[in-house]
Structure 1
Amino acid sequence: MGYTDNSSTQGLDAIRSRLSRRGFLVGAAGLAAASTLSACSSPFEQGGGSSGGGGKKLTITMFVFLGGDLAKMPKEFAKEYMESNPSVSIEFYEQSNSVGYGKMLAQRKADPEKPLVNMGFFNTNTSIQGIGDEMWEPLDYSAMSNAADIRPIFQRDDSMGIGIGTDQYGLLVNPDALGSTPKSWSALWDPAYKGQVSFFNFPWYAVYTAALANGGGLDNMEPGWELWEEHADQIKLIVESNPQYMNVLSDGTAPLTSYFAGTGQQWINGGAPLEYVVPEEGAIPLPVFLQSVAGQSDDEKEVCQDIINEMLSPKWVTRWAETSIEIPANEKSETPKSLADLPAFQQSTVDGLMEIDYDIVGNSQAEWTERWNNNVVSKI
């Protein structure tokens, strides 16, 4: 336990020094505790590969989304970060949140002090579920130099993660097959489009917007439920995969839906005859959060917070926006030129994003999904 690797210790000290200057380690007591940890139980002792000087590295495993270009920015960032911090090694766990988070939960139950991953990218629903499962380690925003530039909708009062960008739900339309280009959420339940609507799994946002249009909201979804339960025949089919979704929209089988602007734009870029429309009532934001996982050593927590802070810089937030097709969270980030003219990235769209209490959405998801399947899908 008394093993000391000078190259590794110096690398951790450099990161710790950055965090200390930001206020993460405060005073001599914090430094003494960190020093004791490094000498007695540092993860550097358990580390995998060797550094350029022959020392062992602290390995951080990052959860990144599987598919498309979503792993590009994290891998580019990691290469640059490891060059600047040679005592840190970043590895990747590429998976969908729906599959990967289940494995994170299983590992947490098996051994809470050995998490499957250290930090990573998580969608809104997974982020909320993780709060209920006590999966996350709170961040110290005051110690993160880039946090002050992150738009308020991406910050949480409990500091359980912080947003890097947001996709959005709006309308996705095949205007030629539909015969028009609707501009309102109400098109989804407009009798003029009966039998021409498709959805992927449970579209809580379709129930929510119907509730909102009929005097309800997230705290009173009943008006939305009543509408969809009565007009389930508005829906042509529920798809089970993105390829199926793109096909039924493109061939006119069901040319109207609400879906991610980013995915829709990828289909459009690939030649699909579709158009993304920002509803006049506003699009629904879907932030992607960076989160640190509970159960790590103090050394790992420090490095994860440093990685997250560096990822929130204008450079890397812009790169994430470019590869994920999302609105950047950092107010100092520039919208990539390839996205600047798209409807989803106009300032009016950003200013008009609906405010969603995702704690309600996350906590109600299971109950809502069951009701949707029993009372709506069964009638299609």
Structure 2
Amino acid sequence: MEYDLTCESVCKKFGEFTAVDDVSFQIPSGSFFSILGPSGCGKTTLMRMIAGFESTTSGDIKIKGNSVLSLPPNKRNVKMVFQHLALFPMMNVFENIAYGLRCQGVGKEEIKRKVQDVLERVSLPDVGSKEISQLSGGQKQRIAIARCMVLDPDVLLLDEPLGALDLKLRESMKIELKLLQHQFNTTFIYITHDQSEALVMSDNVAVMNQGRFEQIGTPQALYHKPASAFVAGFVGDANRWSGRVVEGADGAVKVQTDGGLSLVGTAAGGSLSGSGTDVEIFVRPEFITVARAKGDAPAQVNGQNHQRGVVDSLLFNGANSRVLVRSTNNQLIEADFLLTGGTDDLKPGDAVDLSWSIERSACFQAARG
């Protein structure tokens, strides 16, 4: 397999502060790779090191198998789309895209051909003469990408380029970016704090926290098989409880939460050391079944967790809506339900039974300190 980018034990320190801590990964040619993490986790610093705008403290960065640490940014075949795009307002669209080619000394006719070709590939063949101020937000995004792609980079870096767009446009641009990446068949490395962007567009995602990669995997693997409590809590929505193991260890573990819930979960992210271990337990709202309460509260048997409660509030979100249930222990539990599932007329105050399988409850040892 060919790799467009390889990072080997990359570190970056600013004085005593470690911004990027021993990060290693490889990105296959022609893939869409996202680095997902909260603000301040080190993802922008890592991207700036790849681009050459920031030096490494240690480690190596390779493009197409060759180290680029000694090369300045303009000598690395890596281009970058910034959050605010950095299009030149004094130039029209054609001139913006042609700028890099002119700096390389490409002839006028070749420039004209290349610019027109890339405009067609971003589905904007007739905007070359327009001023940047005449473009919509989505068009500016595509022109910023076209300006980079006309130079045939090995890797395109995208630093939260959808952050300045309104919600509706961001949703449509997620699809646009994925289609553009397929169109150019160029490796895209995308950094974001928005999990929906990373999950929708990416072939693989690295979840970053405090300078380190917590997990690298497909969006499906991160969502369904998180490797740590941080990944479980950061990727997707989840009910989250802290508590202690009262029974079991490496398989199914019974947990008493700080709020008084008695739950059973599956040890994830490594083994648990047994009774008395501090843990965190997660279950996603869509894995919880909601039913109207009937008879006595169900027992916690047959591989299921059961909780009885009262509807506190309803959050309408189209076909899949969310109910907030207050348990008998006064704990709020979020669950999703279909409006066609027989519970579409629930209202605050209704008694309900919640159930979910033990396999859907991921249990992680709590971080020390």
TM-score for both structures, normalised by structure 2: 0.26
Highest relative contact order (Cα 8 Å, sep 6+), 1 or 2? 1
Larger strand proportion of the pair: 2
**Higher alpha-carbon Rg:** 2
TM-score normalised over the length of structure 1: 0.26
